[in-house]
Structure 1
Protein backbone atom coordinates (compact mmCIF):
# COMPACT_ATOMS: atom_id res chain seq x y z
CA UNK A 1 0.00 0.00 0.00
CA UNK A 2 1.49 3.32 -1.09
CA UNK A 3 0.74 6.62 0.59
CA UNK A 4 1.07 9.82 -1.45
CA UNK A 5 1.15 13.49 -0.55
CA UNK A 6 -1.37 15.46 -2.61
CA UNK A 7 -0.04 18.63 -4.21
CA UNK A 8 -3.22 20.51 -3.37
CA UNK A 9 -2.61 19.88 0.35
CA UNK A 10 0.53 22.01 0.08
CA UNK A 11 -0.90 24.40 -2.48
CA UNK A 12 1.47 27.27 -1.73
CA UNK A 13 4.68 25.40 -2.50
CA UNK A 14 6.71 24.29 -5.49
CA UNK A 15 7.39 20.89 -7.00
CA UNK A 16 10.88 20.54 -5.53
CA UNK A 17 9.71 21.38 -2.03
CA UNK A 18 6.85 18.90 -2.33
CA UNK A 19 9.28 16.05 -2.92
CA UNK A 20 11.13 16.89 0.29
CA UNK A 21 7.89 17.36 2.23
CA UNK A 22 6.65 13.95 1.07
CA UNK A 23 9.91 12.27 2.07
CA UNK A 24 10.19 13.93 5.45
CA UNK A 25 6.58 13.15 6.38
CA UNK A 26 6.97 9.48 5.50
CA UNK A 27 5.06 9.30 2.23
CA UNK A 28 6.04 6.95 -0.61
CA UNK A 29 4.75 9.16 -3.39
CA UNK A 30 3.51 12.52 -4.59
CA UNK A 31 0.30 13.24 -6.49
CA UNK A 32 1.52 16.27 -8.35
CA UNK A 33 -0.51 19.09 -9.86
CA UNK A 34 0.38 19.89 -13.47
CA UNK A 35 0.54 23.61 -12.71
CA UNK A 36 3.31 22.98 -10.17
CA UNK A 37 5.18 20.64 -12.51
CA UNK A 38 4.88 22.92 -15.54
CA UNK A 39 5.99 25.96 -13.53
CA UNK A 40 9.11 24.04 -12.53
CA UNK A 41 9.83 23.12 -16.15
CA UNK A 42 9.14 26.63 -17.44
CA UNK A 43 11.63 28.16 -15.02
CA UNK A 44 14.78 26.16 -15.62
CA UNK A 45 13.93 22.66 -14.41
CA UNK A 46 14.03 19.54 -16.56
CA UNK A 47 12.47 16.11 -16.44
CA UNK A 48 15.91 14.56 -16.00
CA UNK A 49 16.63 16.76 -12.98
CA UNK A 50 13.24 16.02 -11.46
CA UNK A 51 13.64 12.26 -11.97
CA UNK A 52 16.99 12.46 -10.22
CA UNK A 53 15.41 14.39 -7.34
CA UNK A 54 12.68 11.77 -7.00
CA UNK A 55 15.21 8.94 -6.98
CA UNK A 56 17.39 10.71 -4.44
CA UNK A 57 14.42 11.10 -2.09
CA UNK A 58 12.86 7.69 -2.83
CA UNK A 59 9.58 9.28 -3.90
CA UNK A 60 7.40 8.24 -6.85
CA UNK A 61 4.94 10.35 -8.81
CA UNK A 62 1.81 8.25 -8.39
CA UNK A 63 -0.64 10.50 -10.25
CA UNK A 64 -0.76 13.78 -12.16
CA UNK A 65 -3.89 15.62 -11.03
CA UNK A 66 -5.53 16.64 -13.31
CA UNK A 67 -6.60 17.08 -16.91
CA UNK A 68 -9.67 19.24 -16.32
CA UNK A 69 -12.76 20.23 -18.30
CA UNK A 70 -12.68 17.07 -20.38
CA UNK A 71 -16.15 17.91 -21.72
CA UNK A 72 -14.83 20.63 -24.01
CA UNK A 73 -16.44 19.98 -27.38
CA UNK A 74 -16.46 23.11 -29.51
CA UNK A 75 -13.80 22.61 -32.22
CA UNK A 76 -11.15 25.03 -30.91
CA UNK A 77 -11.74 24.09 -27.29
CA UNK A 78 -11.62 20.38 -28.06
CA UNK A 79 -8.39 20.80 -30.01
CA UNK A 80 -6.92 22.56 -26.97
CA UNK A 81 -8.08 19.69 -24.76
CA UNK A 82 -6.38 17.09 -26.93
CA UNK A 83 -3.20 19.16 -26.96
CA UNK A 84 -3.30 19.33 -23.15
CA UNK A 85 -3.88 15.58 -23.00
CA UNK A 86 -0.80 14.97 -25.13
CA UNK A 87 1.28 17.26 -22.91
CA UNK A 88 0.16 15.69 -19.65
CA UNK A 89 0.65 12.17 -21.01
CA UNK A 90 4.16 13.11 -22.10
CA UNK A 91 4.83 14.39 -18.58
CA UNK A 92 3.51 11.19 -17.04
CA UNK A 93 5.70 9.08 -19.29
CA UNK A 94 8.77 11.19 -18.47
CA UNK A 95 8.17 10.73 -14.75
CA UNK A 96 7.18 7.03 -14.89
CA UNK A 97 3.80 8.05 -13.51
CA UNK A 98 1.15 5.37 -14.06
CA UNK A 99 -2.04 7.43 -13.70
CA UNK A 100 -3.44 10.76 -14.87
CA UNK A 101 -6.64 12.07 -13.33
CA UNK A 102 -9.36 13.39 -15.67
CA UNK A 103 -12.46 15.32 -14.71
CA UNK A 104 -15.35 17.24 -16.18
CA UNK A 105 -16.38 20.45 -14.47
CA UNK A 106 -19.52 22.44 -15.31
CA UNK A 107 -18.85 22.83 -19.05
CA UNK A 108 -21.56 20.29 -19.99
CA UNK A 109 -24.14 20.87 -17.27
CA UNK A 110 -26.54 22.81 -19.52
CA UNK A 111 -26.77 19.98 -22.06
CA UNK A 112 -29.21 17.05 -22.07
CA UNK A 113 -27.81 13.97 -20.36
CA UNK A 114 -27.55 11.90 -23.55
CA UNK A 115 -25.58 14.62 -25.33
CA UNK A 116 -23.36 15.18 -22.31
CA UNK A 117 -22.59 11.49 -22.06
CA UNK A 118 -21.81 11.18 -25.78
CA UNK A 119 -19.32 14.04 -25.59
CA UNK A 120 -17.61 12.63 -22.53
CA UNK A 121 -17.49 9.14 -24.03
CA UNK A 122 -15.85 10.33 -27.25
CA UNK A 123 -13.40 12.65 -25.50
CA UNK A 124 -12.35 10.05 -22.92
CA UNK A 125 -11.84 7.47 -25.65
CA UNK A 126 -9.46 9.76 -27.50
CA UNK A 127 -7.62 10.69 -24.30
CA UNK A 128 -7.31 7.03 -23.34
CA UNK A 129 -5.94 6.19 -26.77
CA UNK A 130 -3.28 8.89 -26.41
CA UNK A 131 -2.08 7.39 -23.13
CA UNK A 132 -2.35 3.71 -24.03
CA UNK A 133 0.93 3.40 -26.02
CA UNK A 134 2.71 5.12 -23.13
CA UNK A 135 1.32 2.72 -20.54
CA UNK A 136 -0.77 5.43 -18.86
CA UNK A 137 -4.09 4.88 -17.13
CA UNK A 138 -6.74 7.49 -16.44
CA UNK A 139 -8.82 7.84 -13.29
CA UNK A 140 -12.12 9.64 -13.71
CA UNK A 141 -13.10 11.83 -10.79
CA UNK A 142 -16.82 12.55 -10.60
CA UNK A 143 -17.23 16.08 -9.25
CA UNK A 144 -19.79 16.87 -6.55
CA UNK A 145 -20.99 20.21 -7.91
CA UNK A 146 -21.56 19.04 -11.50
CA UNK A 147 -24.22 17.01 -13.26
CA UNK A 148 -21.67 14.16 -13.58
CA UNK A 149 -21.27 13.48 -9.88
CA UNK A 150 -22.21 9.91 -8.97
CA UNK A 151 -20.30 6.66 -8.80
CA UNK A 152 -22.84 4.96 -11.06
CA UNK A 153 -22.42 7.65 -13.72
CA UNK A 154 -18.67 7.06 -13.59
CA UNK A 155 -19.09 3.30 -13.91
CA UNK A 156 -21.53 3.69 -16.79
CA UNK A 157 -19.07 5.99 -18.53
CA UNK A 158 -16.24 3.48 -18.16
CA UNK A 159 -18.45 0.83 -19.78
CA UNK A 160 -19.38 3.19 -22.61
CA UNK A 161 -15.78 4.24 -23.23
CA UNK A 162 -14.71 0.58 -23.44
CA UNK A 163 -11.01 1.12 -22.83
CA UNK A 164 -8.96 -0.99 -20.44
CA UNK A 165 -6.93 1.97 -19.15
CA UNK A 166 -9.85 3.96 -17.72
CA UNK A 167 -11.01 3.63 -14.11
CA UNK A 168 -12.13 5.76 -11.17
CA UNK A 169 -10.71 7.50 -8.15
CA UNK A 170 -12.86 7.07 -5.06
CA UNK A 171 -12.92 10.56 -3.55
CA UNK A 172 -14.72 10.59 -0.22
CA UNK A 173 -15.74 14.27 -0.37
CA UNK A 174 -16.96 14.32 -3.96
CA UNK A 175 -19.03 11.16 -3.52
CA UNK A 176 -20.48 12.35 -0.21
CA UNK A 177 -21.17 15.93 -1.26
CA UNK A 178 -22.59 14.94 -4.64
CA UNK A 179 -25.38 13.29 -2.70
CA UNK A 180 -26.02 10.48 -5.19
CA UNK A 181 -23.66 7.75 -3.99
CA UNK A 182 -23.71 5.56 -0.90
CA UNK A 183 -20.71 3.77 0.57
CA UNK A 184 -22.41 0.44 -0.12
CA UNK A 185 -22.09 1.13 -3.84
CA UNK A 186 -18.33 1.46 -3.49
CA UNK A 187 -18.23 -1.81 -1.56
CA UNK A 188 -19.72 -3.60 -4.58
CA UNK A 189 -17.22 -2.18 -7.10
CA UNK A 190 -14.88 -4.22 -9.23
CA UNK A 191 -11.62 -3.48 -7.44
CA UNK A 192 -9.79 -3.40 -10.78
CA UNK A 193 -11.63 -0.18 -11.62
CA UNK A 194 -10.33 1.65 -8.53
CA UNK A 195 -7.16 3.48 -9.51
CA UNK A 196 -6.81 5.58 -6.37
CA UNK A 197 -8.40 6.83 -3.16
CA UNK A 198 -8.71 10.47 -2.13
CA UNK A 199 -9.07 10.49 1.64
CA UNK A 200 -10.79 13.73 2.65
CA UNK A 201 -13.59 15.38 4.57
CA UNK A 202 -15.92 18.35 4.26
CA UNK A 203 -19.60 18.93 3.61
CA UNK A 204 -22.07 19.61 0.82
CA UNK A 205 -23.21 23.12 -0.03
CA UNK A 206 -26.06 24.14 2.23
CA UNK A 207 -29.44 25.30 0.88
CA UNK A 208 -28.96 28.66 -0.81
CA UNK A 209 -25.17 28.44 -0.55
CA UNK A 210 -22.98 28.68 -3.65
CA UNK A 211 -20.68 25.74 -4.30
CA UNK A 212 -17.16 26.78 -3.32
CA UNK A 213 -14.62 24.05 -2.59
CA UNK A 214 -12.52 26.46 -0.54
CA UNK A 215 -15.50 26.69 1.84
CA UNK A 216 -17.08 23.24 1.73
CA UNK A 217 -13.75 21.40 1.85
CA UNK A 218 -12.02 23.52 4.49
CA UNK A 219 -12.00 20.63 6.97
CA UNK A 220 -9.42 18.16 8.21
CA UNK A 221 -10.47 14.49 8.32
CA UNK A 222 -12.86 14.00 11.21
CA UNK A 223 -13.98 17.64 11.27
CA UNK A 224 -16.53 17.56 8.46
CA UNK A 225 -19.69 15.64 7.67
CA UNK A 226 -18.20 12.75 5.68
CA UNK A 227 -18.72 9.38 7.38
CA UNK A 228 -15.09 8.41 6.95
CA UNK A 229 -15.35 5.01 8.71
CA UNK A 230 -18.20 4.00 6.38
CA UNK A 231 -16.25 4.92 3.24
CA UNK A 232 -13.12 3.24 4.59
CA UNK A 233 -15.03 0.06 5.27
CA UNK A 234 -16.55 0.17 1.80
CA UNK A 235 -13.13 0.43 0.17
CA UNK A 236 -11.79 -2.42 2.30
CA UNK A 237 -14.70 -4.64 1.25
CA UNK A 238 -13.56 -4.36 -2.39
CA UNK A 239 -10.17 -5.90 -1.51
CA UNK A 240 -8.37 -2.73 -2.61
CA UNK A 241 -4.64 -2.69 -1.80
CA UNK A 242 -3.50 0.26 -3.93
CA UNK A 243 -2.51 3.81 -3.09
CA UNK A 244 -4.10 6.29 -0.70
CA UNK A 245 -3.81 10.04 -0.96
CA UNK A 246 -5.08 12.43 1.74
CA UNK A 247 -6.41 15.54 0.00
CA UNK A 248 -6.53 18.60 2.25
CA UNK A 249 -8.07 21.38 0.17
CA UNK A 250 -8.18 23.78 3.07
CA UNK A 251 -7.36 27.51 3.08
CA UNK A 252 -7.13 27.33 6.88
CA UNK A 253 -4.47 24.64 6.81
CA UNK A 254 -2.62 26.19 3.86
CA UNK A 255 -1.47 28.91 6.24
CA UNK A 256 0.34 26.38 8.42
CA UNK A 257 4.00 25.57 8.07
CA UNK A 258 4.28 23.31 5.02
CA UNK A 259 6.00 20.55 6.97
CA UNK A 260 3.19 20.57 9.52
CA UNK A 261 0.59 20.27 6.75
CA UNK A 262 2.35 17.25 5.23
CA UNK A 263 2.75 15.62 8.64
CA UNK A 264 -0.91 16.20 9.49
CA UNK A 265 -1.92 14.54 6.22
CA UNK A 266 -0.06 11.30 6.87
CA UNK A 267 -1.10 11.36 10.54
CA UNK A 268 -4.74 11.53 9.45
CA UNK A 269 -4.30 8.32 7.45
CA UNK A 270 -2.59 6.59 10.36
CA UNK A 271 -5.35 7.73 12.72
CA UNK A 272 -7.84 5.76 10.62
CA UNK A 273 -5.61 2.71 10.34
CA UNK A 274 -4.17 3.33 6.86
CA UNK A 275 -0.41 2.66 6.96
Structure 2
Protein backbone atom coordinates (compact mmCIF):
# COMPACT_ATOMS: atom_id res chain seq x y z
CA UNK A 1 0.00 0.00 0.00
CA UNK A 2 1.47 3.37 -0.99
CA UNK A 3 1.33 6.52 1.07
CA UNK A 4 -1.39 9.01 0.22
CA UNK A 5 -0.30 12.16 -1.65
CA UNK A 6 1.12 14.74 0.80
CA UNK A 7 -0.58 17.71 2.38
CA UNK A 8 0.46 21.26 1.54
CA UNK A 9 0.94 22.82 4.96
CA UNK A 10 -0.23 26.38 5.46
CA UNK A 11 3.27 27.73 6.12
CA UNK A 12 4.72 26.54 2.80
CA UNK A 13 2.59 29.08 0.90
CA UNK A 14 1.74 31.29 3.85
CA UNK A 15 0.91 34.42 1.86
CA UNK A 16 -1.32 32.74 -0.74
CA UNK A 17 -4.95 33.68 -1.20
CA UNK A 18 -7.30 30.79 -0.53
CA UNK A 19 -8.23 30.00 -4.16
CA UNK A 20 -4.57 30.22 -5.19
CA UNK A 21 -3.54 27.95 -2.32
CA UNK A 22 -6.06 25.28 -3.27
CA UNK A 23 -5.27 25.53 -6.99
CA UNK A 24 -1.53 25.28 -6.28
CA UNK A 25 -2.04 22.17 -4.15
CA UNK A 26 -4.05 20.50 -6.89
CA UNK A 27 -1.58 21.45 -9.61
CA UNK A 28 1.38 20.07 -7.65
CA UNK A 29 -0.30 16.77 -6.74
CA UNK A 30 -1.12 17.25 -3.06
CA UNK A 31 -4.14 15.57 -1.50
CA UNK A 32 -5.00 18.35 0.93
CA UNK A 33 -4.06 21.65 2.48
CA UNK A 34 -3.45 22.90 5.98
CA UNK A 35 -5.07 25.98 7.45
CA UNK A 36 -3.70 28.26 10.14
CA UNK A 37 -6.44 29.40 12.47
CA UNK A 38 -5.65 33.15 12.15
CA UNK A 39 -5.75 32.74 8.37
CA UNK A 40 -9.12 30.98 8.56
CA UNK A 41 -10.52 33.62 10.88
CA UNK A 42 -9.36 36.31 8.46
CA UNK A 43 -11.13 34.55 5.61
CA UNK A 44 -14.33 34.47 7.64
CA UNK A 45 -13.95 38.16 8.53
CA UNK A 46 -13.54 38.94 4.82
CA UNK A 47 -16.92 37.34 4.16
CA UNK A 48 -16.01 33.81 3.10
CA UNK A 49 -18.65 31.33 4.22
CA UNK A 50 -17.74 27.71 4.99
CA UNK A 51 -19.89 26.51 2.09
CA UNK A 52 -17.92 28.73 -0.30
CA UNK A 53 -14.62 27.42 1.02
CA UNK A 54 -15.86 23.85 0.64
CA UNK A 55 -16.89 24.57 -2.95
CA UNK A 56 -13.37 25.75 -3.84
CA UNK A 57 -11.87 22.64 -2.24
CA UNK A 58 -14.34 20.32 -3.95
CA UNK A 59 -13.78 21.93 -7.34
CA UNK A 60 -10.10 21.00 -7.13
CA UNK A 61 -10.45 17.62 -5.39
CA UNK A 62 -8.59 18.89 -2.33
CA UNK A 63 -9.47 18.38 1.34
CA UNK A 64 -8.82 20.56 4.37
CA UNK A 65 -6.51 18.12 6.14
CA UNK A 66 -5.14 19.93 9.20
CA UNK A 67 -5.37 23.06 11.33
CA UNK A 68 -2.79 24.86 13.42
CA UNK A 69 -2.19 25.75 16.11
CA UNK A 70 -3.52 25.77 19.69
CA UNK A 71 -0.77 27.49 21.65
CA UNK A 72 -0.32 27.04 25.39
CA UNK A 73 -3.17 24.58 25.83
CA UNK A 74 -1.87 23.89 29.35
CA UNK A 75 -1.64 27.53 30.45
CA UNK A 76 -4.25 29.92 31.83
CA UNK A 77 -5.95 31.77 28.96
CA UNK A 78 -4.33 35.08 28.17
CA UNK A 79 -1.48 36.88 26.40
CA UNK A 80 1.63 34.74 26.06
CA UNK A 81 4.04 37.70 26.20
CA UNK A 82 6.58 35.80 24.12
CA UNK A 83 9.32 37.97 22.58
CA UNK A 84 9.02 38.00 18.82
CA UNK A 85 5.49 36.57 18.84
CA UNK A 86 3.24 39.60 19.34
CA UNK A 87 -0.42 38.81 19.72
CA UNK A 88 0.04 35.18 20.72
CA UNK A 89 -2.56 34.12 23.25
CA UNK A 90 -2.38 30.94 25.29
CA UNK A 91 -5.44 28.69 25.51
CA UNK A 92 -7.37 31.20 23.41
CA UNK A 93 -11.09 30.29 23.48
CA UNK A 94 -11.65 32.17 20.20
CA UNK A 95 -9.02 30.04 18.49
CA UNK A 96 -10.61 26.89 19.88
CA UNK A 97 -14.03 27.99 18.62
CA UNK A 98 -12.56 28.47 15.15
CA UNK A 99 -11.03 24.99 15.31
CA UNK A 100 -14.42 23.54 16.21
CA UNK A 101 -15.91 25.30 13.19
CA UNK A 102 -13.16 23.88 10.99
CA UNK A 103 -14.06 20.42 12.20
CA UNK A 104 -17.81 20.88 11.87
CA UNK A 105 -17.91 22.82 8.60
CA UNK A 106 -14.86 21.72 6.63
CA UNK A 107 -14.30 18.28 8.12
CA UNK A 108 -10.76 19.02 9.26
CA UNK A 109 -9.59 15.89 11.12
CA UNK A 110 -6.38 17.12 12.80
CA UNK A 111 -5.34 20.09 14.88
CA UNK A 112 -1.92 20.79 16.35
CA UNK A 113 -1.36 21.75 19.96
CA UNK A 114 1.86 23.23 21.35
CA UNK A 115 2.94 23.85 24.91
CA UNK A 116 4.23 27.09 26.41
CA UNK A 117 7.35 28.98 25.34
CA UNK A 118 9.08 28.56 28.68
CA UNK A 119 10.26 25.80 31.00
CA UNK A 120 7.26 25.42 33.28
CA UNK A 121 6.99 21.83 34.58
CA UNK A 122 5.17 19.16 32.63
CA UNK A 123 3.07 17.73 35.42
CA UNK A 124 -0.35 16.20 35.92
CA UNK A 125 -2.01 19.52 35.14
CA UNK A 126 -0.50 19.43 31.65
CA UNK A 127 -1.71 15.86 31.15
CA UNK A 128 -5.19 16.78 32.36
CA UNK A 129 -5.30 19.86 30.12
CA UNK A 130 -4.39 17.79 27.09
CA UNK A 131 -7.01 15.19 27.91
CA UNK A 132 -9.68 17.83 28.42
CA UNK A 133 -8.78 19.46 25.10
CA UNK A 134 -9.17 16.10 23.37
CA UNK A 135 -12.53 15.62 25.07
CA UNK A 136 -13.81 19.01 23.90
CA UNK A 137 -12.69 18.55 20.30
CA UNK A 138 -13.46 14.87 19.85
CA UNK A 139 -17.21 15.36 19.27
CA UNK A 140 -16.28 17.59 16.31
CA UNK A 141 -14.29 14.86 14.60
CA UNK A 142 -10.92 16.28 15.60
CA UNK A 143 -7.80 14.48 16.71
CA UNK A 144 -5.31 16.60 18.68
CA UNK A 145 -1.68 16.25 17.57
CA UNK A 146 0.70 17.36 20.32
CA UNK A 147 3.81 18.86 18.73
CA UNK A 148 7.11 19.04 20.59
CA UNK A 149 9.16 22.19 19.97
CA UNK A 150 12.68 22.47 21.46
CA UNK A 151 12.14 25.91 22.99
CA UNK A 152 8.85 25.08 24.69
CA UNK A 153 8.05 23.22 27.89
CA UNK A 154 7.37 20.14 25.70
CA UNK A 155 10.77 20.12 23.98
CA UNK A 156 11.19 16.57 22.74
CA UNK A 157 9.43 13.42 21.62
CA UNK A 158 9.82 11.70 24.99
CA UNK A 159 8.05 14.49 26.86
CA UNK A 160 5.27 14.75 24.29
CA UNK A 161 4.73 10.99 24.25
CA UNK A 162 4.59 10.93 28.04
CA UNK A 163 1.76 13.50 28.01
CA UNK A 164 -0.20 11.74 25.26
CA UNK A 165 0.20 8.32 26.86
CA UNK A 166 -0.77 9.53 30.33
CA UNK A 167 -3.82 11.35 28.96
CA UNK A 168 -4.94 8.16 27.25
CA UNK A 169 -7.39 9.68 24.79
CA UNK A 170 -8.24 7.86 21.56
CA UNK A 171 -8.18 11.17 19.68
CA UNK A 172 -4.85 12.29 21.09
CA UNK A 173 -1.51 11.66 19.41
CA UNK A 174 1.81 13.17 18.41
CA UNK A 175 2.83 15.59 15.72
CA UNK A 176 6.45 15.00 14.70
CA UNK A 177 8.08 17.78 12.69
CA UNK A 178 11.45 16.91 11.16
CA UNK A 179 12.75 20.43 11.85
CA UNK A 180 12.08 20.21 15.56
CA UNK A 181 13.40 16.66 15.77
CA UNK A 182 16.71 17.32 14.04
CA UNK A 183 17.16 20.77 15.55
CA UNK A 184 16.31 19.39 18.98
CA UNK A 185 17.83 16.35 20.65
CA UNK A 186 17.34 14.01 17.63
CA UNK A 187 16.79 11.08 19.98
CA UNK A 188 16.36 8.17 17.58
CA UNK A 189 15.78 5.63 20.33
CA UNK A 190 12.94 7.69 21.77
CA UNK A 191 11.40 8.28 18.35
CA UNK A 192 11.63 4.60 17.44
CA UNK A 193 9.97 3.60 20.72
CA UNK A 194 6.76 5.45 19.85
CA UNK A 195 4.21 3.22 18.08
CA UNK A 196 3.68 4.54 14.56
CA UNK A 197 -0.07 4.75 15.04
CA UNK A 198 0.44 7.19 17.92
CA UNK A 199 2.14 9.60 15.50
CA UNK A 200 -0.97 11.09 13.95
CA UNK A 201 0.73 13.93 12.08
CA UNK A 202 4.14 14.17 10.39
CA UNK A 203 5.64 17.37 9.01
CA UNK A 204 8.61 17.15 6.66
CA UNK A 205 11.20 19.74 5.70
CA UNK A 206 14.96 19.87 5.42
CA UNK A 207 17.69 22.13 6.68
CA UNK A 208 21.17 22.43 8.12
CA UNK A 209 21.79 20.51 11.31
CA UNK A 210 23.41 23.51 13.00
CA UNK A 211 21.84 26.96 13.36
CA UNK A 212 22.96 29.52 10.82
CA UNK A 213 22.16 32.53 13.04
CA UNK A 214 21.80 33.36 16.70
CA UNK A 215 17.99 33.32 16.47
CA UNK A 216 16.88 29.69 16.27
CA UNK A 217 13.21 30.63 16.58
CA UNK A 218 13.40 32.95 13.59
CA UNK A 219 15.18 30.28 11.57
CA UNK A 220 12.29 27.90 12.18
CA UNK A 221 9.93 30.26 10.36
CA UNK A 222 12.29 31.56 7.67
CA UNK A 223 15.15 29.19 6.77
CA UNK A 224 13.67 25.75 6.26
CA UNK A 225 14.68 24.01 3.05
CA UNK A 226 12.99 21.74 0.56
CA UNK A 227 13.51 18.01 0.98
CA UNK A 228 16.92 16.97 -0.25
CA UNK A 229 18.39 20.46 0.06
CA UNK A 230 19.64 20.13 3.61
CA UNK A 231 21.38 17.77 6.02
CA UNK A 232 18.49 15.98 7.73
CA UNK A 233 18.43 12.17 7.48
CA UNK A 234 14.89 12.24 6.16
CA UNK A 235 14.90 8.74 4.69
CA UNK A 236 15.61 7.24 8.09
CA UNK A 237 13.17 9.66 9.72
CA UNK A 238 10.29 8.68 7.44
CA UNK A 239 11.04 4.98 7.83
CA UNK A 240 10.37 5.44 11.56
CA UNK A 241 7.40 7.80 11.58
CA UNK A 242 5.68 6.55 8.40
CA UNK A 243 7.05 3.03 7.88
CA UNK A 244 6.58 1.21 4.58
CA UNK A 245 2.93 0.26 4.09
CA UNK A 246 1.58 3.11 6.21
CA UNK A 247 -0.88 4.89 3.88
CA UNK A 248 -1.20 8.11 5.85
CA UNK A 249 0.12 11.28 4.23
CA UNK A 250 2.88 13.55 5.41
CA UNK A 251 2.51 17.31 5.61
CA UNK A 252 5.09 19.36 3.71
CA UNK A 253 5.79 22.34 5.96
CA UNK A 254 8.59 24.55 4.68
CA UNK A 255 8.66 28.00 6.22
CA UNK A 256 11.08 29.65 3.85
CA UNK A 257 11.78 33.22 2.84
CA UNK A 258 13.02 31.80 -0.47
CA UNK A 259 9.72 30.03 -1.18
CA UNK A 260 7.84 33.19 -0.22
CA UNK A 261 9.34 34.89 -3.27
CA UNK A 262 7.84 32.33 -5.65
CA UNK A 263 4.31 32.07 -6.97
CA UNK A 264 2.04 29.72 -5.04
CA UNK A 265 2.20 27.11 -7.80
CA UNK A 266 5.97 27.24 -8.09
CA UNK A 267 6.42 27.07 -4.32
CA UNK A 268 4.07 24.09 -4.05
CA UNK A 269 5.94 22.26 -6.84
CA UNK A 270 9.35 23.04 -5.34
CA UNK A 271 8.29 21.90 -1.89
CA UNK A 272 6.91 18.52 -2.97
CA UNK A 273 9.92 17.39 -5.00
CA UNK A 274 11.66 14.54 -3.25
CA UNK A 275 8.88 13.87 -0.74
Same fold (TM > 0.5): yes
Is contact 2:227–2:273 with CA below 8 Å preserved after alignment?
A: no
Q: Which position in structure 1 is the counterpart of 2:74?
A: 71
| Superposition map of 1:1-275 within 5 A | 1-73=4-76, 81-106=92-117, 108-109=118-119, 111=120, 113=121, 116-182=122-188, 184-203=189-208, 206=211, 209-214=214-219, 217-237=223-243, 240-269=246-275
Is contact 1:178–1:204 with CA below 8 Å preserved after alignment?
A: no
Is contact 2:196–2:240 with CA below 8 Å preserved after alignment?
A: no
Please report how far the alpha carbon of residue 87 of structure 1 lies from its aligned counterpart in structure 2 after TM superposition: 2.6
Is contact 1:137–1:165 with CA below 8 Å preserved after alignment?
A: yes
Provide the rounded CA distance (Å) in 2 between the counterparts of 1:251 and 1:17: 18
Q: TM-score, normalised by structure 2?
A: 0.86
Q: TM-score, normalised by structure 1?
A: 0.86
Please report how far the alpha carbon of residue 132 of structure 1 lies from its aligned counterpart in structure 2 after TM superposition: 1.4
Question: What is the RMSD of the two structures over their aligned residues, measured on CA atoms?
Answer: 2.5
Q: 1:75 to 1:256 in 2, by over 3 A?
A: closer
Q: Which position in structure 1 is the counterpart of 2:83?
A: none
Please report how far the alpha carbon of residue 50 of structure 1 lies from its aligned counterpart in structure 2 after TM superposition: 0.6
Structure 1: 5+ residue runs without aligned partners?
A: 270-275
Q: 1:79 to 1:3 in 2, by over 3 A?
A: closer
Count of residue correspondences: 263
Is contact 1:73–1:119 with CA below 8 Å preserved after alignment?
A: no
Structure 1 stretch displaced more, 228-237 or 59-68: 228-237
Provide the rounded CA distance (Å) in 1 between the counterparts of 2:162 and 2:232: 24
Provide the rounded CA distance (Å) in 2 between the counterparts of 1:155 and 1:21: 34
